[in-house]
Chain A
Amino acid sequence: MSAITPDLVEAHQLTPDEYRRIVEILGREPTYTELGIFSVMWSEHCSYKSSRLHLRKLPTRGPHVLQGPGENAGVIDIGDGWAIAFKIESHNHPSFIEPFQGAATGVGGILRDIFTMGARPIAVLDALRFGPLDDPEAGARNRRILEGVVSGIAHYGNCFGVPTVGGETVFDPCYNGNPLVNVLALGVFRHDEIFYARASGVGNPVIYVGAKTGRDGIHGASMASAEFTEESKQKRPNVQVGDPFLEKLLLEACLEAMKTGAIVGIQDMGAAGLTCSTCEMGSRAGTGIEIDLQYVPQRETGMTPYEIMLSESQERMLLVAEKGREEEVAQVFRKWGLDAVTIGFVTGDGLLRVKDHGALVAEIPTRALAEDAPVYDRPYTKPYRRARMDWPEPAAADVQADLVALVTSGDLCSKRWIWEQYDYMVRTNTLRGPGADAAVIRIKETGTSIAVSLDGNERYCYLDPREGVRLVVAECCRNLSAVGAHPVAATNNLNFGNPERPEIMGQLVETIEGMAEACRFFETPITGGNVSLYNETLGEPVRPSPVIGIVGLMKTGPVTPTEFPRPGLAVVLVGGLGFSDWRRFGGTQYAKVILKALWGLPPALDMDYEKRVQAAVREIVRAGWAASSHDLSGGGLGVALAFTMGLWNIGAEGQLLMGALAASWLALAGPALPPAAAVPVLGLLGAAGGALWALGPALLRAYVGVSEIISTLMLNYVAALWVDYLVFGAWADPAAFSFPYSRPFPEGMRFPLLVGEIHLGALLALGLAALLAWGLRRTRWGFEVRAIGAGAEAAHAAGVAVRRYVLAVMAVSGALAGLAGVGEVAGVVHRLQQGLSPGYGFSAIIVAWMAGLHPWAVVAVAVLFAGLLNGGFVIQTAGVPAAIAAMLQALILFFVLAGEVAVRRRRRHRLLASSAAGGA
């Protein structure tokens, strides 16, 4: 046995003080094995020695709480004699070193925490944080870590058979050297089926079940309690290897064994393995445990007691059975093909006694290990923060381009490619899966469903940890309210840097206090959680990253969707825009994505107002008045709106230009046509150009699910650039003094004028409006189109081939826009030119909406708007800015909407409106 030197103590990450205390407790020098046992049990990861003092400030009781912090998971009552166990765990450090296995075993660990209590896991959510994928230096590594983590989660969860129903993925340079992988799991069971991790009943056998013990993961807990250095990548053997199939067997066997009634207490072997489970079970029951390591099933030969005690091999459990009923338990495990071996028994002396072939290798009071770990009141100062309070000059805003940049940014873009790798439907309870505000899981055994939201915001929390975490709690509750669920309890994962630095400790303390305050206010007591410190690489800490998971209850039924189900519904912003100024804009996604800056303070939060907004939204949603609802958070209102639309062709601008372009080709470069054919062919070709331009996005939408909002919008710019390219180049008019004009159309290629400046196009438009009005009202085609508009899913169920209609409708609307383009070039300007359309395509959207999407009304509104626009140009000559016309347009739109809202409010009982749940 090696002698205990100060170097050895330091290598175990124990301070000289802590070592003195160990000697004091034992009354002698520890053995090598004992030193190892103390080092893991007193590590930050297992003992919470830096945070414990402050965690006491958290509210932990509430009407729904059956079990608060301290057990393997928190438990809440959901009525009818049923309960939910849930908890979150981090697996940050292992996921950095070996992403696939690190993340996989993270899922495995938290699942064991849940079924250890007797609950069957019903859902998993994960909060992931990575460095940016396009980071110039760490990008490649970040991509590898992201890929590995996602497939690790998928591998474990899918095989185990638990749906991964939600979560979030955020990218920030502060995670370049420290990705975060936080996994939340929930399980369901009856009140009278709860099992605790207690070794009670002196003389009862201690039984080891599950996988055999190997050398993997030794000192994983201590690794998770230190900063990363260059050598960390050498720590690969510290990461465990997971086997989800074995865990699935362990789950079924444990639940079945629990039903025999022979099990007294049970605990999984997670961090610190056999050490942690033995001393914690003893400590909780006030008993001791004696085991002999020769009976521990081992998959490698020559393992020392030190290695066996510290191994973190996965898929293992320790249970205490009633004396004399060992065989009953063993039988169940044999049925599932698993080891179940009695390795010791419960004693009354409060000591953890470890023998190896009868020889004593460790003897330590269980309480000293589990409960008497040092508790530090670490010094703390003002939170670490380098962001400035003043702000950069706001950039000249191109709202459209910025919005596109936002919705396509890493944090806000669709994460479908990630969550489609997770089986989010297995167990057939997922009423609402990933990609929405909150996940909703039905509990088949009762009429209740569970809503879960998992959120964090490291930017807010960095600017002001206390305020930031309150915003996170509020957002969680808001997400639940958006589906009509009532928030009842919370769990949390605190991811921070090195707590020995006072300014990091300051972040932690402020966060815990802010969280306590918000959870008390929103009546969501904390039932458990996890603290992950030392998330630093080479002295660079992650931003304070508290991740909060909140569980809400609701009645089982159809869940109000996030997306707008059909056009023509009013959009209601609940809660108003709230107080804000430029200083409080510094933590927003806009600041991050567009300005690439971070400054000032997080958005202001009025918790009282927030709570009332949420209550109102819950009531609206529960009453069934909302056709959809979505909370406003990252990216604000603009992004929320973009994501809630159904099928929106906002590419009319581009289709118009392509129609004009096609017509121009015929007029300028095409074959000569007989005069009678020229105008019709011109129109047809233009319509075809517009239709083709619309068809691309339509095909992408119908077959690949690409959002047509983005693709049509982007194609607008492509179309405009094509026009530019041609009028500056091939078709440029040599006589135009390098103005961006094409050569003029020959006489025969122009639309004839009817009266004054009104050309054939006007007549054509009227004719088409009539045709469309008739078609939509009177034909089967029109009926089915309207059915799809009213709800694509329902229409599909009724046998309508939705996809074909998506293509057809997009093509028709593209053709109409193209025709408008022909009208513009052949009827008005008689040439192709840059800036041909001053936003006609966009005006068209406003016109269509104001007209309630009815073709005849569109004609009337269009005439009105045309008058307005042209009136604007005329009054300009009188010295009044033409912009007044645009303002008038906006005002009209505003009043029309307000009127719409008022009318609908009066008609409450009809199915109402889409609501957007707003707030801070």
Chain B
Amino acid sequence: MKFGVVVFPGSNCDHDAWYAVVHNLGHTAEFVWHEASSLGDVDAVILPGGFSYGDYLRSGAIAKFSPVMAAVRRFAAEGGLVLGICNGFQILVESGLLPGALIRNRGLKFICRQVSVRLETADSPFTNAGRRGEILRIPVAHGEGCYVADERTLDELEAEDRVAFRYVENVNGSLRSIAGILNRERNILGMMPHPERASDPLMGSTDGLVVFRSMVAALALNR
């Protein structure tokens, strides 16, 4: 499978995502420049972590206007798999591809920590290789990762089984401990924890590979 890793000015986990896909997962990946108007022939796309456009104004607020996001929208509308990690999640939320918003951590400080998240649904192209209730060790590193949405949206997310991950210990004050959510069509996942940082045994955990392996399995099924 071929993953496209979008590079915005200020992306800084782009190389990490690329490395996880190529070296830890054993698939191919290529970078997609933010000015590209098409994603080419990629099978799935990753919006990596970082500080796109310096995250000025609000995290992800400027990135949503970049040319590549129009291509990502089209790709998603056609059913393509889109994974937004950290800043990528923030961009997806700002773009309206996922509901809610990500605001400053409750502690007001940036937090970098290995945390436990619970896989809440195995019924998605991003989580089918795991099992519901499984606890994964995946690090977080963000200053604005507190997920908020109105009650109705939260109820809806839960009713439609769209909460993909929850924090076991709620590190940033996210409502209902939400760490990652799916869109209604279940082909877009946004998550604050960094699965690409938990893909190499030397980094202390390979739990993040669940996400990438699920994507590969889902793509193989659709071929």
Interface size class of A (residues with CB under 8 A): 35 or more
By a CB distance below 8 angstroms, the chain A residues around B51 are 158-159, 161, 244-245, 248
Instruction: Identify which of A190-198, A421-429, A524-532 touches chain B.
Output: A421-429
How many A-B residue pairs have C-beta atoms within 8 angstroms? Tell me: 89
By a CB distance below 8 angstroms, the chain A residues around B200 are 428
By a CB distance below 8 angstroms, the chain A residues around B53 are 245
Instruction: Identify which of B9-17, B69-77, B95-103, B148-156 touches chain A.
Output: B9-17
Indicate whether B137 reaches chain A with its CB closer than 8 angstroms: yes
Tell me, in angstroms, the Cα distance from A249 to B55 when the chains sit together: 13
A801 touches B135 (CB 8 A): yes
State which of B54, B112, B197 has its C-beta within 8 Å of the C-beta of A428. Answer: B197
B169 touches A442 (CB 8 A): no
B203 touches A421 (CB 8 A): no
Among B10, B112, B196, the one with the most A-chain Cβ atoms within 10 Å of its Cβ is B112
* Residue on A nearest B116 in the bound complex, by CB: A803
B202 touches A422 (CB 8 A): no
* Residue on B nearest A160 in the bound complex, by CB: B12
Tell me, in angstroms, the Cα distance from A379 to B223 when the chains sit together: 81
B9 touches A428 (CB 8 A): no
A159 touches B112 (CB 8 A): no
As a 0/1 sequence over residues 47 to 58 of chain B, the CB contacts with chain A under 8 angstroms (1 = contact) are: 001110111100
Interface size class of B (residues with CB under 8 A): 35 or more
Interface residues of B in 12-55 (CB under 8 A from A): 12-13, 15-16, 19-20, 49-51, 53-55
Indicate whether A895 reaches chain B with its CB closer than 8 angstroms: no
As a 0/1 sequence over residues 196 to 223 of chain B, the CB contacts with chain A under 8 angstroms (1 = contact) are: 1101101111000000000000000000
A158 touches B139 (CB 8 A): no
As a 0/1 sequence over residues 62 to 79 of chain A, the CB contacts with chain B under 8 angstroms (1 = contact) are: 000000000000000000
B110 touches A425 (CB 8 A): no
Known: A249-B9, A336-B9, A428-B196. A556 touches B112 (CB 8 A): no
A425 touches B197 (CB 8 A): yes
As a 0/1 sequence over residues 856 to 882 of chain A, the CB contacts with chain B under 8 angstroms (1 = contact) are: 000000000000000000000000000
As a 0/1 sequence over residues 104 to 144 of chain B, the CB contacts with chain A under 8 angstroms (1 = contact) are: 00000111110010000000000000000001010101010
B13 touches A558 (CB 8 A): no
Tell me, in angstroms, the Cα distance from A796 to B197 when the chains sit together: 18
Among A158, A337, A428, the one with the most B-chain Cβ atoms within 10 Å of its Cβ is A428
Tell me, in angstroms, the Cα distance from A336 to B13 when the chains sit together: 17
Among B20, B111, B200, B204, the one with the most A-chain Cβ atoms within 10 Å of its Cβ is B204
As a 0/1 sequence over residues 122 to 144 of chain A, the CB contacts with chain B under 8 angstroms (1 = contact) are: 00000000000000000000000
Tell me, in angstroms, the Cα distance from A428 to B113 when the chains sit together: 13
Nearest chain B CB to A104 CB, angstrom units: 13
Known: A245-B10, A337-B9, A421-B109. A428 touches B55 (CB 8 A): no
B112 touches A248 (CB 8 A): no
Known: A159-B51, A428-B203. A423 touches B112 (CB 8 A): yes
Indicate whether A377 reaches chain B with its CB closer than 8 angstroms: no
Tell me, in angstroms, the Cα distance from A246 to B53 when the chains sit together: 9
Indicate whether A420 reaches chain B with its CB closer than 8 angstroms: yes
A431 touches B202 (CB 8 A): yes
Interface residues of A in 754-806 (CB under 8 A from B): 793, 796-797, 801, 803
A423 touches B202 (CB 8 A): no
Nearest chain A CB to B136 CB, angstrom units: 10
Tell me, in angstroms, the Cα distance from A531 to B200 when the chains sit together: 40
Known: A243-B54, A421-B111. A248 touches B12 (CB 8 A): yes
Tell me, in angstroms, the Cα distance from A158 to B111 when the chains sit together: 10
Nearest chain B CB to A702 CB, angstrom units: 9
Nearest chain B CB to A414 CB, angstrom units: 13
Known: A428-B16, A428-B20, A556-B202. A422 touches B112 (CB 8 A): yes
Indicate whether A703 reaches chain B with its CB closer than 8 angstroms: yes
B19 touches A444 (CB 8 A): yes
B112 touches A424 (CB 8 A): yes
Nearest chain B CB to A448 CB, angstrom units: 13
A426 touches B12 (CB 8 A): yes
By a CB distance below 8 angstroms, the chain A residues around B12 are 159-161, 248, 426
Tell me, in angstroms, the Cα distance from A703 to B56 when the chains sit together: 34
Known: A159-B51, A243-B54, A245-B51. A154 touches B16 (CB 8 A): no
A427 touches B113 (CB 8 A): no
Tell me, in angstroms, the Cα distance from A125 to B12 when the chains sit together: 19
A420 touches B113 (CB 8 A): yes
Among A160, A161, A337, A803, the one with the most B-chain Cβ atoms within 10 Å of its Cβ is A161
Tell me, in angstroms, the Cα distance from A427 to B112 when the chains sit together: 13
B203 touches A425 (CB 8 A): yes
By a CB distance below 8 angstroms, the chain B residues around A427 are 15-16
By a CB distance below 8 angstroms, the chain B residues around A426 are 12-13, 16, 49, 141
By a CB distance below 8 angstroms, the chain A residues around B55 are 159, 245
By a CB distance below 8 angstroms, the chain B residues around A557 are 202
* Residue on A nearest B200 in the bound complex, by CB: A428
Nearest chain A CB to B59 CB, angstrom units: 11
* Residue on A nearest B139 in the bound complex, by CB: A425
By a CB distance below 8 angstroms, the chain B residues around A444 are 19
Interface residues of B in 167-209 (CB under 8 A from A): 168-169, 194, 196-197, 199-200, 202-205
A-B contact pairs, 19 of them (CB 8 A): A159-B12, A161-B12, A161-B13, A244-B54, A245-B54, A248-B12, A419-B112, A420-B109, A420-B111, A424-B112, A426-B13, A426-B49, A428-B197, A430-B203, A431-B202, A793-B204, A797-B205, A801-B135, A803-B116
Enumerate chain A interface residues (CB-CB to B < 8 A).
Answer: 151, 154, 158-161, 243-246, 248-249, 336-337, 419-428, 430-431, 442, 444, 556-558, 703, 793, 796-797, 801, 803
Closest 4 CB pairs of A and B: A161-B12, A245-B54, A159-B51, A423-B141
Q: Can you name 9 extra interface pairs (CB under 8 A) apart from A420-B113, A426-B49, A442-B202?
A: A154-B110, A158-B51, A161-B13, A244-B51, A245-B53, A248-B51, A420-B112, A424-B112, A425-B194
